[in-house]
Structure 1
């Protein structure tokens, strides 16, 4: 069709930099004359380009090239095992557009008004139902909406607890955000080693008993950065010790939605009355730009939690809350979770399979079954920081987890691998390169003890 030919011509002009961002396109009249097309044909081509955000129009002035019109000219050859955000290539932007239009049509007052410190009732009701589907049973009044999980952690770290204690216990390694928050607020933070995918319960009891622990921050499923999950028996022991020594547990279940084991429940399910504070971020499994998390706090925490929350930002973005609430109400969130759970589970299975195929025998690879992260525990003679640099030089990006340890517990033998945004077709080659680089680094290894062929 004529309008498609004109559209292709203009796209080519943009791609080849004949037309750059901000440039004005030839007028409708000039294009019609140049190609012997009718003005309606030219306008139709322009409308298609505008619909796809390639150009924009200014009344009485014409059409202009948008800032983000340039496509990626050179496809990156990097294998990205580093980025930890959700893979948005599987996200339905049509559903987002539909929900946004629905919100603008039906909830104008709500999104333009001040919000409630506790969060919008409509969203909290949707999350209550969502929690119940995941074996997390609570009451509506206990659910708080925060501007991301980090805000919830900051509030809990700084607000007083009924046990009157101040010290925080974390896994080692752990989410770097809590370490940074403790550093900036001069909080005493202690660690317990789980780098071998197990926890020393005698050590845990000693720390609970002798160190005035306010709460234990723990990720029981798909831990960041190791990918480790606790068994049901281990979960029960943690809860029993917390009850014995009056220690609260902050359970960060940020990837629990991806768990293929339907029999593995969160810690909160064992003691829903208040010993466990349940934290659920929507940044990894939905949209990080919304900055949304939900927290279940004990009933006697509500007033204090809201006081500290109000001090930080009064209320969380009402527009973000409406988007998530509408996605959930329309059933789109459940469909989205089902899709990404399948994708991430398969990616992780591929990575573990290729890891077992290519990695040297003295490199320990965790097998999380799903989630975003797994980790490699390296021989002591291989420094993770140097290995990370060597891999980056070969366009394979991984994360040295040194920054996820407390200063006195640092380890130089662990790298984190994230499968969230790596192209599934690149996983095998990425694991080959990692195995090859480890063998080149460690001359004591036989060149590839498993069936390695480049």
Structure 2
């Protein structure tokens, strides 16, 4: 065993037995060098390797500290779960070390600018970085046209209440759709209608009819990696939606929250086909971590001033420290590395998920959508099955999914669906989890058949 590995083992052992507690400062490099009779460079390498494993972190001018760990029983419990419900990456794999470096660098670079009120529209240097980032997605926009928001939820809340130039009042949603936007609209009493979306897509004739006669000011859509279906619109449908929006003066609110997981270089957003009538929304929480609370909104010029006023009245500005750290994270290539890692990981997991579904789904009444990229897919049932009972039975076997009734508007026909997310299921556990799921579905169906 190499000397630096011996040091690592010793520190890990002390962390496991509680001799070194989470948040405790580790012995200095000099002390460790003398205690283990090795060079300082050997100690530095051991600390660097432990930092890569998120077991320690460094504070400039202070030293190395132990990362607070979950209790072993809790970690074992997490590993025992087949969690197909979670939309975000496993917290144990969040980019803590990289982002901590960016936070420290942001404070050094911007100092007092980050601790005073900022600009409501966002940190100008981040706007420039986001402009280049979005240009790579065929969203060609100048930096001053981008507004930074406190997460996508703030953008949705503002846009749902905003008066629009077309003078109309109703928001149109795909069904199913994002559950928190549904709750927002229904809670605030904002007029809302639904249009069915399935694995096969959307009825464009029905969409045109609603645009023409339905008092629609805004159509909210997730054309790419729809939540909860996981499916995406082909380019022909995106072009058709863009054309209808321009023809009838309806604004499209395009939520491209998983755009960074796209593997098809020919896939463009709706914005590329009708920038004058598309509000483009982008989030970073699903790629980095939900607590970042940074979103980006690209608005048609006629909406920008009104949106800015509503945002300023809501929160003056979005967190400046998070904005500065994200700017540095993107500028230094860390975001791109993180993206490539997740794209590769999710691609392999989606392939594994599809293979498992094809292998074990021989029911004839539970249809699974074949989604090749993104972070989730769905199962649709063509025969009656009580979803809450199924989920309870699965939970007893450590398979976790969520009910999707909240993804439908009140009064809209709810379809029996299951969403399968691969964000927190290890690639080597997907097959077993799917087998348990499909076996339980078949058991329930046999029980129904005998009753």
The TM-score, its normalising length taken from structure 1, stands at: 0.84
The root-mean-square deviation of aligned C-alpha atoms, in Å, is: 3.4
Q: Which secondary structure state, in structure 2, belongs to the residue aligned with residue 250 of structure 1? A: strand
2:292 is the alignment partner of 1:268 = no
Gaps of 5+ in 1: 33-37, 57-63, 447-454
> Larger Cα Rg: Structure 1 or Structure 2?
1
Q: Residue 211 of structure 1 corresponds to which residue in structure 2? A: 214
- The 3 A distance-change label for structure 1 pair 283 and 4 is closer
Q: Residue 385 of structure 2 corresponds to which residue in structure 1? A: 382
- The 3 A distance-change label for structure 1 pair 265 and 7 is closer
Count the aligned residue pairs.
Answer: 429
- List, as ranges, runs of 4+ consecutive aligned residues in structure 1 with deviation greater than 3 Å: 1-25, 38-41, 46-49, 51-56, 64-73, 87-94
The question of whether the paired residues in 2 share the 8 Å contact of 1:227 and 1:367 is answered with no
Per-residue deviation at 1:239? Answer: 1.6
Q: Residue 425 of structure 2 corresponds to which residue in structure 1? A: 422
Q: Residue 244 of structure 2 corresponds to which residue in structure 1? A: 241
Q: Residue 106 of structure 1 corresponds to which residue in structure 2? A: 109
The TM-score, its normalising length taken from structure 2, stands at: 0.85
Which region of structure 1 is more displaced relative to structure 2, 148-157 or 240-249? Answer: 240-249
- CA offset digits 1:10-54 (Å, max 9, x no partner): 8667645799889999x9xxxx9xxxxx9899xx9x9999x9798
Q: Residue 152 of structure 1 corresponds to which residue in structure 2? A: 155
Pairing of 1:339-378 with structure 2 (within 5 A): 339-359=341-361, 360-378=363-381
The question of whether the paired residues in 1 share the 8 Å contact of 2:103 and 2:321 is answered with no
Pairing of 1:23-42 with structure 2 (within 5 A): none
- The 3 A distance-change label for structure 1 pair 445 and 363 is farther
* CA–CA distance in structure 2, aligned partners of residues 117 and 22 of structure 1: 35
- The 3 A distance-change label for structure 1 pair 347 and 11 is closer
The question of whether the paired residues in 2 share the 8 Å contact of 1:55 and 1:69 is answered with no
Q: Which secondary structure state, in structure 2, belongs to the residue aligned with residue 400 of structure 1? A: coil
Per-residue deviation at 1:101? Answer: 3.0
* CA–CA distance in structure 1, aligned partners of residues 317 and 241 of structure 2: 33
Q: Residue 281 of structure 1 corresponds to which residue in structure 2? A: 283
- The 3 A distance-change label for structure 1 pair 9 and 295 is closer
Per-residue deviation at 1:310? Answer: 0.6
Which region of structure 1 is more displaced relative to structure 2, 407-416 or 426-435? Answer: 407-416
Per-residue deviation at 1:111? Answer: 1.7
* CA–CA distance in structure 2, aligned partners of residues 285 and 348 of structure 1: 16
* CA–CA distance in structure 2, aligned partners of residues 284 and 420 of structure 1: 9
* CA–CA distance in structure 1, aligned partners of residues 259 and 70 of structure 2: 37
- CA offset digits 1:367-400 (Å, max 9, x no partner): 2211122100013221222222221121111122
| Pairing partner for 2:334 from 329, 332, 338 | 332
Per-residue deviation at 1:7? Answer: 9.0
Per-residue deviation at 1:143? Answer: 0.6
Per-residue deviation at 1:94? Answer: 3.6
Per-residue deviation at 1:410? Answer: 4.0
Which region of structure 1 is more displaced relative to structure 2, 7-16 or 350-359? Answer: 7-16
Q: Residue 397 of structure 1 corresponds to which residue in structure 2? A: 400
2:201 is the alignment partner of 1:175 = no
2:205 is the alignment partner of 1:199 = no
Pairing of 1:271-310 with structure 2 (within 5 A): 271-272=274-275, 274-310=276-312
* CA–CA distance in structure 2, aligned partners of residues 377 and 324 of structure 1: 38
Q: Which secondary structure state, in structure 2, belongs to the residue aligned with residue 426 of structure 1? A: helix
* CA–CA distance in structure 2, aligned partners of residues 311 and 303 of structure 1: 12
Q: Residue 122 of structure 2 corresponds to which residue in structure 1? A: 119
Per-residue deviation at 1:165? Answer: 1.3
Gaps of 5+ in 2: 58-64
- CA offset digits 1:236-269 (Å, max 9, x no partner): 2212222222111000000111111111100000
Q: Residue 79 of structure 1 corresponds to which residue in structure 2? A: 82
